[in-house]
Amino acid sequence: MLTDKEFDVAASMLTGRLEEGASLNDVINFLRSEGFGQIDSMKLLTHAAGLSLTEAKQTIDASPAWQDRRESNEALRRDLWEAAQAVVDTADPAATAEPSTGHQPV
């Protein structure tokens, strides 16, 4: 988790890179190579690129820089959904819904 100062420095740097014409994928590659995690990267993209949190999440999820984590992230979401659904089913057997992957074409 970034401190406020670290966040401000990183956000300023990313804003500058984007203003210079860097693509979102270039910025995401930079963040990953510098050791930023997915959540901090999403927060920085919302600030520096003006994306909504949903857009930032989808952009990170679809980026080549995080491709190696995509399958495990999907498995985690699916497992969490199934666990939550099991709790709902226990409380209300008539309640059913389909899980959302959170992905939309970018």
pTM equals 0.71
Question: Does residue 72 lie within any of the structural domains?
Answer: no
Question: Does residue 8 lie within any of the structural domains?
Answer: yes
- Split at pLDDT 50, 70, 90, the class of 58 is very high
- Split at pLDDT 50, 70, 90, the class of 1 is confident
Question: Does residue 98 lie within any of the structural domains?
Answer: no
Tokens of 53: 């949190």
pLDDT in tens, 27-57: 999 999 999 999 999 999 999 999 999 999 9
Question: Does residue 9 lie within any of the structural domains?
Answer: yes
Question: Does residue 95 lie within any of the structural domains?
Answer: no
Question: Does residue 85 lie within any of the structural domains?
Answer: no
pLDDT in tens, 77-97: 899 999 999 888 787 666 655
Dmax (CA) of the chain:
55
Task: Mark out the alpha helices in the chain (DSSP H runs).
Answer: 4-19, 24-33, 38-48, 53-62, 67-91
Percent of the chain with pLDDT over 70: 86
Question: Does residue 78 lie within any of the structural domains?
Answer: no
The domain tally of the chain equals 1
Q: What is the mean pLDDT of residues 61-72?
A: 91
Range of the domain at 30: 4-67
Smallest CA-to-CA distance from 27 within 11, 3, 9, 7 is with 11
Residue 70, phi then psi, degrees to nearest 5: -60, -50
Higher pLDDT, 87 or 98: 87
Question: Does residue 38 lie within any of the structural domains?
Answer: yes
Q: How far apart are CA 102 and CA 36, in angstroms?
A: 21
Smallest CA-to-CA distance from 6 within 53, 32, 43 is with 43
- Split at pLDDT 50, 70, 90, the class of 20 is very high
